[in-house]
Each structure stands twice: as structure tokens, then as C-alpha cells.
Structure 1
Amino acid sequence: MAIRNLVFEGGGVKGIAYAGALEVLEGNGYLNLLQNVAGTSAGAITAAMMALNYKASKIKEIILNFDFKQFEDGFDPLRVLTSYGLYKGDAFLQWMKDRISDIGGDPNMTFADLNGPGTTYRHLSVVATDLYTQNIQVFSKETTPNTIVAEAVRASMSIPIFFKSWQFSNQSPNDHIYVDGGVILNYPIELFDVNGVINEETLGLYLANVSGKPTVDAFGHDHIIQYIKSLFDTLLKVQNIDFSEDKEEEARTIIIDDLGISATDFGLTAQQKQELLDSGSKAAKAWINANPLSL
């Protein structure tokens, strides 16, 4: 199977597991022909880093050495009334821009800059939810060439009520309000299909509670943060795919056990991070065993 397109599901901090899976796929030559990457929310973050030609080992290193609690910036309950989010989300935006700067890119690069003529980056597509149209918005060189890449990823990971909703600084593609792409399309596996025909060169990475571990503890009406986190986790679960009923999608998906970790558990321990990485690695190895690389 030649993998030219790679798609990442949204899943908040659980997306840490993707680095483990990518390291296995990369190490076994499965990503040698990779051209296009796409993702929603946390999946958009990983997709962006893959588009920027980050190696899986570097992504893993960044994850292990970063405190995700830093993304919970500027807590203010009143912000829910003004820009619909408890946290600013500015820390994440700066983090994403830093990742672009680290590889020598302009932190404010647009999709046209990223995938224009003469560049060596992989083609990137990012999914967010447009609250004006009440539909998905796919950001890419073709659809939104003048949109800033880091801001598109910021829009895609704007967990409703948790992070401030997003409006683009340069009003490109428009002045609409955006939230997390996972609200409507958390797993954009069909993005590279044409006229409903499955693209056999597409592989997706998908997070599921395979082990059946409980995601959250019980909480009362006085736990607003836990309420918001549980609400978002529930929203994502509604979109879970029953792969037993969709064998075609299962065949092109690596299903990773998320170990029952909440998408918004930004206080993960080093051990939990490693367990997610190991889970991603384990799932990728199992998929490779079932799908040997054709020479």
C-alpha cells in the first residue's frame, strides 16, 4: 500500500499517541511517498507538523518536554460572555508559530506560502467549524490561500467554551467566528476521496477507547471546568465510527487505544504521555503486520 495521504482525527491531548504511531510508520518506510496531510483539532496540529517535514522523533521529543498546562492561559469566566472561551488560546497560537519558526519558516506564513511553487513542504488541509455557515471549513492552498497557517490550526483546536473562539487577524478567508473542527467533522478521512470513491492511498489515524477505561470521574453542578471537558468528550464520542459496520474505512485506519484519557486533560503526567506514545506505536505495529509494504 502506497501512502500518499495521511489523515489525523481530533482528540485533544490524546493526539500525543500519533507521534508513537508515526515513528513506527516512518521507521518502516511507509511514509516515504507521503504528499498530503490533513487533520482536525489535535489532528490538525500533528498534520501541520508533518506538513512542515518534522520527523516523528522530533515531534515525540517536543511532546515529552512540553507542559500542556501552559495552553490553559488567561483563565477568565467572563470571557465566555465576550468571546466564548474560558482560556485565551494565545499560548497555543504562539507555540504553533514557534514550531514554524524552528524549521526556518515565517511564523505568519499562509497556505500559499506553505504549498506554493518551489516549496518542499507537504500539502496541508485543516478542518474547522464555521459558526456563521454552521458547516465545516477546510483550509488549504486551494480553498484559502491567504489564510495564516498557524491561525487555521488555532481555529481548528478551539474547543467550544474552553478556548476563545477564533476570528482571523487578516480577515482571510473572512471575519466569521470559528470553533473546533471536531464539532462537525472530527475524522476527515474522506477528504482525499473523489466523487465518493475511496482513495486507496489514504491512511487515517484514529483514537478510540479500545480498553473501555472510564474517561472522567463523577462531578456536580459546581464543577464548571469538568462540565465543559465532559461536554466536549461527549460531543466527540457521538461521532465515533462503528468500524464493524464500515470495513472499507477500517481497512485504511490505524485504530489507537486512547486509554480512556480525556481530550482536555492538559495535566498529563510524563508516564501518561509515554503510555499514549506506546499505545500509538503498538497500534501502528499491528497495522503494519496486517499490511506489509509492497516493494
Structure 2
Amino acid sequence: MCQQRKKAHAKVWHLYNDHFRPAQRGKVSIALSSHWIKPQHMTEKNIEECQKSLDFVLGWFAKPIFIDGDYPESMRSSLSSLLPEFSEAEKKYIKGTADFFALSFGATLSFQLLDSHMKFQQLESISLRQLLYWINSEYNNPQIFIVENSWFVSGTTKKDDAKYIYYLKKFIMETLKAIRYDGVNVFGYTVWSLLDGFEWHRGYSIRRGLFYVDFQSHDKKLIPKSSVLFYQKLIEKNGFPPLPENQPIEGVFPCGFAWGIVDNYIQVSLIIKPAACPARSVHKFTVTYLLN
């Protein structure tokens, strides 16, 4: 079935390329979802397993389209008796049938739907920057459009979606770093999604929209979340201008600044010993909590 999907995609691309592109001058691609994976240990074997994981999740579509019309070698060696063979004519027909790399990354696949055996005993990570760098290296520096990206919040969250904003800011900052520092050719970014929708096996128990949809109301009322304002301002500024609140900070806290750990005891005694401060700034004090 996967072979038929690749052929179907290729047929649509060729149809547009031959009959519509000369007049419309548009671009056609296919949205490919991926996770990011890192080795449990920095051994050659673990690194190879990470490569295999990405091949099995992303490469089985990306390599035929962007490289040579065929499945990744790691899939061929592991599933040689199960994978169909492409003829040379089919490889040529499939290869190059995307005008840019359309990437989907976020909660849909990462940490949610990926089967554990597809991780090959390695560690999942939400590093979009590293995935962008890998795609850039693996597929000959393609133009990349991030067509789906975000995180999720509880289905009961109507306005204050701080968690969503946190991840959204993280992903967009990583995209900017990939462009500025890694030379990755990312030319667009799209948040998923404008409105809350049906999230497959999770239904409406989680939400991913910038607008909360009240499915219980007659007119399906839309409520803008905090992320609407964040994303609006981000677009207006075209990123993160060099304002103080956007800059990393280096330095130390004042001597006498209190550091401690809260535990589930009624009384906690703390002794503060900052290494960079003189002995007279060391304090001992007790914090008392009233537990419900």
C-alpha cells in the first residue's frame, strides 16, 4: 500500500508539473511527519539505531522522493522479504516529485502515536532544530516548509494556554537557530491549528487550536486563547527582535540569595553556601509550611 501511495503522489506531481505549472507557477509537495531520536549511549550501534528509527518513520517516504526513488537501505536490509521492489522506471518516476520538503512535527507523532518498537530502544526528543539539521544533511539541503507544528493542552483549557505558548516559542526559536546558525533552508512555518479539532484517538480530550471551540454551544462559539496574541505579535515582529526579554542572560545572583529545596515535610531547614560569596553571607533559616 505504501508503494501505491508513493506512485499516487508522483502521479499528482507529474500531472501538475505537465499541465498546470506553466500557467500557475505553483509548487507541490507532500507533508511528512517525523519525530526526533537520540542515542541512549554514544556508541556506533546506538547511532545506527537512531538512523534506522528515522528511516522507518520519515525516510521510507522522504528517500524515494528526495534521493533515488527507493526505500532506505536500513529498511531494505531489515524487511527485504516484505518491501515491494520498484522498477527502474518507477524509481525515476517517483524521484524528485516534491518542490520542497513539507515537514510535520509536534505532538501528533512525537511522544504520542509512535510505537515503542519504532524507537529501536533509543530516546525520543522534541528537538526540532536537530531534526531540521538532519533533514538538511540527509536530503541534500532541500527547501523546508514546516507545515504543521505545535503542542497540545487539556481539552478544558479555554483561554490561558501557557503550556502551548511555551512549546510554540521553543519550536519557533529552534527554527530560527537552524536558519541562522546551521544554514538550514527553512522558508516557512505554519502553526497547527487555527481552531480546536478532533484529535483522532484522543478525540476532544486535548486541544491544539489557537481558538477554543465550544462544541456544546449552538453556534460553536470561538474563544481566542492567549496563544493568539503571542503568535500575532510574533508575526508582526517577524520573529524575536533583540529586546532584553528575548536575550539569554549570564551572571550570578547576589550574595545572600536563598537557594533551597521544598519537600513534603512540615519543617525544612536550609543552609545556603554559595561558593562565590564570602563566609559571612552564609545564612541558616527555617521555612515552615502548613500542609492541607
TM-score (norm 1): 0.28
Structure with greater contact order relative to length (CA < 8 Å, sep ≥ 6): 1
Bigger-Rg structure (1/2): 2
